């Protein structure tokens, strides 16, 4: 099982409650790579706005991932997940193909339908019919990245003989974050990988979600073995009291055990959202990964 981590981008990722600089994000990603982790992941939001609370900022995801691609040369570069609503599907596919070439074939294009309504209104994007819009976007993106010329006349999207030139060097893997029957069937139809989050380990909720993905694959005639199962694990430091049942508090041994249990139920990738963005936390995740895969050191 591969192990990746989300990088710091938002105000909650620094002790001072400010958005990290790119230098801080880069240092975190470089340390994750040097420690032997398999991938780094960005969240895609424009802002967080809740009633009665100050707005919270976050760095733009695609720009950050592009900069990391040039400066962090080995690890996979994932998005958890790019909001399809924020970029047209043809442009999203073009950007993904270009970044995959720039990075030497390391992009994982995570996509989702979005959920935080205030950022839609603030930045001028429609929030209605999110799944219907996403269905059209996902089909267009998938077909373009797989080398098709796409003419599409949907309710929300239209394309006229769209094509990616130069053609992608490979089929850029598409990951969809999904729950619910309709989103899961779209995932089983078009995606190479699926993500569900957030979990403290291989609990009952996760097992049920895996069963629901299997059912969606059966519904559309997809071989269950042909889609990667990726899971977001929310991690706090040992001894922390996060007051959230979705969060694992574990030392290196406990985290390695959690990785073993996730792999045993068929998880292909675990993406760790460490609430602490310290080097110590990264080193603990990396040590747990080594124990999980049986590496020395």
Q: Which domain holds residue 152?
A: 2-293
- Cα 296 from Cα 61, distance rounded (Å): 34
For position 147, which CATH number holds? 3.20.20.30
Both tokens of 95, joined, read 């950007």
CB crowding 160-180: b at 16 or more within 10 Å, else e: eebebeeebeeebbbbbbbee
Both tokens of 164, joined, read 């990616």
Find out whether the peptide bond into 198 is cis, omega within 30 degrees of 0: yes
pLDDT digits (tens, 9 = 90+) for 35-61: 999 999 999 999 999 999 999 999 999
Mean pLDDT of 119-138: 97
Strands 150-153 and 158-162 come out as antiparallel
Phi-psi region of 46 (alpha: psi -120 to 50; beta: other; left: phi over 0): alpha
Confidence of residue 296 (pLDDT cuts 50, 70, 90): low
- Cα 150 from Cα 176, distance rounded (Å): 21
pLDDT digits (tens, 9 = 90+) for 73-93: 999 999 999 999 999 999 999
Both tokens of 130, joined, read 């999110």
Whether the CB-CB separation of 137 and 99 falls below 8 Å is answered with: no
H or E, element range at 284: helix 279-293
* pTM for this model (two decimals): 0.96
Residue 201 φ/ψ, nearest 5 degrees:
155, -160
Whether the CB-CB separation of 205 and 199 falls below 8 Å is answered with: yes
Give residue 241's pLDDT: 80
pLDDT digits (tens, 9 = 90+) for 149-158: 999 999 999 9
- Cα 297 from Cα 286, distance rounded (Å): 10
Count of structural domains, the chain: 1
């Amino acid at each position: 099982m591969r192990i990746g981590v989300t990088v710091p981008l938002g105000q909650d990722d620094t002790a001072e409650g400010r958005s990290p600089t790119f230098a801080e994000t880069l240092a975190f990603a470089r340390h994750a790579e040097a420690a032997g982790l398999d991938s780094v992941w960005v969240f895609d939001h424009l802002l967080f706005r809740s009633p009665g609370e100050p707005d919270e900022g976050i760095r733009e995801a695609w720009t950050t991932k592009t900069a990391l691609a040039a400066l962090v040369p080995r690890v996979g570069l994932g998005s958890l997940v790019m909001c399809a609503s924020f970029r047209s599907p043809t442009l999203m596919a073009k950007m993904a193909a270009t970044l995959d070439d720039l990075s030497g074939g390391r992009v994982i294009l995570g996509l989702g339908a979005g959920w935080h309504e205030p950022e839609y209104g603030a930045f001028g994007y429609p929030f209605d019919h999110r799944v219907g819009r996403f269905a059209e976007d996902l089909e267009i993106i998938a077909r373009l990245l797989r080398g098709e010329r796409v003419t599409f006349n949907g309710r929300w999207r239209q394309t006229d003989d769209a094509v990616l030139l130069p053609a992608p060097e490979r089929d850029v893997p598409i990951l969809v974050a999904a729950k619910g029957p309709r989103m899961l069937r779209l995932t089983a139809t078009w995606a190479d990988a699926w993500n569900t989050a957030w979990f403290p380990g291989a609990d009952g909720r996760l097992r049920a979600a895996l069963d629901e993905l299997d059912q969606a694959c059966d519904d559309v005639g997809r071989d269950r073995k042909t889609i990667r199962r990726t899971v977001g694990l929310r991690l706090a430091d040992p001894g922390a009291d996060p007051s959230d049942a979705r969060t694992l508090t574990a030392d290196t041994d406990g985290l390695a055990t959690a990785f073993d249990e996730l792999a045993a139920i068929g998880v292909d990738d675990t993406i760790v959202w460490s609430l602490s963005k310290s080097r110590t936390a990264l080193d603990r995740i990396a040590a747990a990964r080594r124990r999980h895969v049986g590496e020395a050191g």
